[in-house]
C-alpha cells in the first residue's frame, strides 16, 4: 500500500463540502443516527470484502452533524448526554463497525479541547467541528515497551512547536481534517498537536493490514519535524494529572462499538437461520428456526446482549451524573471507570460470542465468501484487542474488594 498524497486524499470532498448540519438535541441525534445507519448498512459487507475505504460514506457521516453532538451547548453544539452518545455509536457500529469506530478518537479529542483548551482554542476548534471537520489520531506507537512509552517528541520553538516521530494504529487519520498527535516534551509531559491536513512533513500511510476493522485505515502517520502553531497545541497531560472523565469516555465509546458488532452478528444469525439453515436430522422438526437447541442458543445470545446493553446504559448514566457536577472528583472518575469497565467486559464477550455462534447455528452455508459473515467475528476480535478485558476484571475486583481506584489513563 502506498503513501497517500495529502493534496488528494480527501477525494475532492473538501472543495465541494458545505457546512455540516448542526444537530439541536438528543432526540434529533438519535433520529439522524437511525436514518444514517440504514444508509451505511447497505454497502457494509461489500466495503469490507473489497477493503474499499469509505471516503464518501464518512462524508455522509460527518455532514449529518453526528460528529459534533458533544460540542457544548455554550459553543453552539447539542451537548448530548453520554447515554445518547453511546447509543449513537452503537447504532452506527451495528450498521458498519469500521465507520462506527472512525469517530471514536474524535469524540475523545473534542473532550480534550473542552478540558484543556484556552477560550480561544475552544472557540476555534468547536467551530471547526460544528462545520463538519474531523479529528483523526496519532497516539499509539508500535515497537515500544507499552502504550505509554512514547518516542514522538513535541518541542517548543518560539511561537511554534516541532513534532517528530512515527505513529501506528492511527484510526481516522487518513480521513481527517486535523491529525492530533500525542508526543512528549523534555520533561516527559504529554502534549497534543492538532495538525491540519496537508501540513509539510505530515504523511499518512495506508498500510493497515489487520484482518478486522479493515476500512478504518488504522495505519502509519509519520512526522518529519512538523511545525505547528502554538494555538494548535494543547496540554494533554492535564487530562490525567487531574480528575477528568476523559478515560471512561474513551472506553465507553469502545464498548458501544462492540455492542453494535454483537447486535449486527445476532441479526445476521436470525436472518440466515430463518431463510437458509437446515435443522439437524435428530431434531424432528422441519425448520431450523424450530430446532430446540438452536432456539435455546438464540435465547442465550439475546440475554447476553441485553445484559451488556443494560450495563452500557448504566455506565453512561454514571458518566452523565458525574459530568453534571460542578467539579469532577477522584471518586467520580473511579466510579465511572469501574462502571464502564463492567460494561466493557460484557460487550467484549458478547461481540466475540455472537460472531462465533453465527456459524455454529447458521451452518456451513454461512461460511461462504459470498456472504462475508465472518466480518463480524473478525471485527470484534480486532477491535476488542484495543485493551485487554482480562484487566477490566482486575480493575473491577480491586475496586470493590480493596477500594483501589483505577489508574487514570485513556484505557480506564
What digits encode the pLDDT tens for the residues 362-371? 999 999 999 9
Look at residue 12 and tell me whether its pLDDT is greater than 60: no
- Kindly report the CATH number that applies to the domain delimited by 242-402: 1.20.140.10
Measure the CA–CA gap between 157 and 238, rounded to whole angstroms. Answer: 21
Inter-residue contact 33 to 41 (CB < 8 Å): no
Cα(249)–Cα(242) distance, integer angstroms = 15
Give the mean model confidence (pLDDT) for residues 337-363. Answer: 98
Tell me the backbone φ, ψ of residue 169, rounded to 5 degrees: 55, 40
- The pLDDT-based confidence of 272 (bands split at 50, 70, 90) is very high
Whole-angstrom CA distances from 221 to 137, 174, 203 are 9, 9, 6
Length of the chain in terms of residues written: 412
The predicted structure's pLDDT at residue 7: 32
Predicted confidence at residue 14, as pLDDT, reads 53
Instruction: Give the C-alpha separation, 92 to 32, whole Å.
Output: 10
CATH 1.10.540.10 fits 3-130, yes or no: yes
Locate CATH 1.10.540.10 in the chain.
3-130
Average pLDDT for 29-34: 98
Handedness of CA 390, 236, 175, 173 (dihedral sign): negative
Query: Which superfamily is assigned to 153-236 in CATH?
Result: Butyryl-CoA Dehydrogenase, subunit A, domain 2 (2.40.110.10)
Q: Which of 409, 404, 84 is nearest to 246 (CA)?
A: 409
Instruction: Kindly state the average pLDDT of the residues 67-86.
Output: 98
User: Is residue 15 scored above 90 in pLDDT?
Assistant: no
Judged by average pLDDT, the poorest of 145-154, 155-164, 224-233 is 145-154
Q: Please say whether the beta carbons of 301 and 354 come within 8 A.
A: yes
Does the pLDDT of residue 182 top 70, yes or no? yes
Q: Is the pLDDT of residue 358 over 70?
A: yes
Domain with CATH 2.40.110.10 in the chain: 153-236
* Residue that wins the pLDDT comparison between 355 and 4: 355
Taking residue 42's Cβ as centre, other Cβ atoms within 10 Å add up to: 10
Helix (H) or strand (E) holding 246: helix 246-275
> Which grid coordinates belong to 142?
508500535
Alpha helices in 42-118 (DSSP H): 44-50, 55-63, 82-95, 97-101, 104-116
| 11 pLDDT above the threshold of 80 | no
Q: Is 398 exposed, middle or buried (0-12, 13-18, 19+ CB in 10 A)?
A: middle
Comma-separated ranges of CATH 1.20.140.10 domains in the chain: 242-402
Rounded CA-CA distance 121/40 in Å is 33
Residue 16 pLDDT: 60
Q: What percent of the chain has pLDDT over 90?
A: 93
3-state DSSP helix/strand/coil percent for the chain, to nearest 5?
55, 10, 35
C-alpha cell at position 164: 517528530
Amino acid at each position: 500500500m502506498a503513501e497517500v498524497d495529502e493534496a488528494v486524499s480527501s477525494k475532492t470532498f473538501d472543495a465541494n463540502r458545505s457546512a455540516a448540519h448542526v444537530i439541536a438535541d438528543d432526540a434529533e441525534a438519535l433520529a439522524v443516527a437511525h436514518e444514517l445507519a440504514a444508509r451505511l448498512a447497505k454497502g457494509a459487507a461489500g466495503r469490507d470484502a473489497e477493503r474499499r475505504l469509505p471516503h464518501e460514506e464518512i462524508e455522509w457521516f460527518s455532514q449529518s452533524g453526528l460528529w459534533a453532538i458533544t460540542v457544548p451547548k455554550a459553543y453552539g453544539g447539542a451537548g448530548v448526554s453520554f447515554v445518547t452518545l453511546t447509543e449513537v455509536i452503537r447504532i452506527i457500529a451495528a450498521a458498519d463497525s469500521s465507520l462506527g469506530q472512525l469517530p471514536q478518537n474524535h469524540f475523545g479529542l473534542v473532550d480534550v479541547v473542552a478540558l484543556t483548551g484556552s477560550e480561544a482554542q475552544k472557540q476555534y476548534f468547536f467551530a471547526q467541528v460544528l462545520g463538519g471537520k474531523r479529528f483523526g489520531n496519532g497516539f499509539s506507537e508500535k515497537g515500544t515497551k507499552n502504550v505509554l512509552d512514547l518516542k514522538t517528541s513535541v518541542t517548543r520553538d518560539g511561537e511554534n512547536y516541532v513534532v517528530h516521530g512515527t505513529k501506528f494504529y492511527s484510526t481516522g487519520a487518513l480521513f481527517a481534517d486535523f491529525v492530533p498527535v500525542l508526543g512528549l516534551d523534555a520533561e516527559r509531559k504529554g502534549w497534543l498537536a492538532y495538525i491540519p491536513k496537508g501540513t509539510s512533513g505530515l504523511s499518512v500511510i495506508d498500510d493497515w493490514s489487520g484482518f478486522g476493522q479493515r476500512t478504518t485505515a488504522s495505519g502509519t502517520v509519520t512526522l518529519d519535524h512538523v511545525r505547528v502553531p502554538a494555538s494548535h497545541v494543547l496540554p494533554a497531560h492535564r487530562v490525567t494529572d487531574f480528575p477528568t472523565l476523559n478515560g471512561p469516555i474513551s472506553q465507553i465509546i469502545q464498548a458501544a462499538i462492540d455492542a453494535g458488532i454483537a447486535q449486527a452478528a445476532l441479526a445476521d444469525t436470525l436472518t440466515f437461520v430463518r431463510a437458509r439453515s437446515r435443522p439437524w436430522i435428530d431434531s424432528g422438526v422441519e425448520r431450523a428456526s424450530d430446532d430446540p437447541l438452536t432456539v435455546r442458543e438464540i435465547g442465550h445470545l439475546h440475554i447476553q446482549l441485553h445484559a451488556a446493553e443494560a450495563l452500557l446504559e448504566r455506565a453512561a448514566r454514571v458518566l452523565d451524573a458525574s459530568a453534571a457536577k460542578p467539579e469532577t472528583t477522584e471518586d467520580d472518575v473511579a466510579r465511572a471507570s469501574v462502571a464502564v469497565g463492567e460494561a466493557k467486559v460484557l460487550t467484549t464477550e458478547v461481540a466475540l460470542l455472537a460472531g462465533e455462534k453465527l456459524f455454529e447455528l447458521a451452518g456451513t452455508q454461512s461460511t461462504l465468501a459470498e456472504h462475508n459473515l465472518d466480518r463480524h467475528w473478525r471485527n470484534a476480535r480486532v477491535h476488542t484487542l484495543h485493551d485487554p478485558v482480562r484487566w477490566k476484571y482486575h480493575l473491577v475486583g480491586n475496586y470493590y474488594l480493596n477500594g483501589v481506584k483505577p489508574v487514570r489513563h485513556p484505557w480506564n
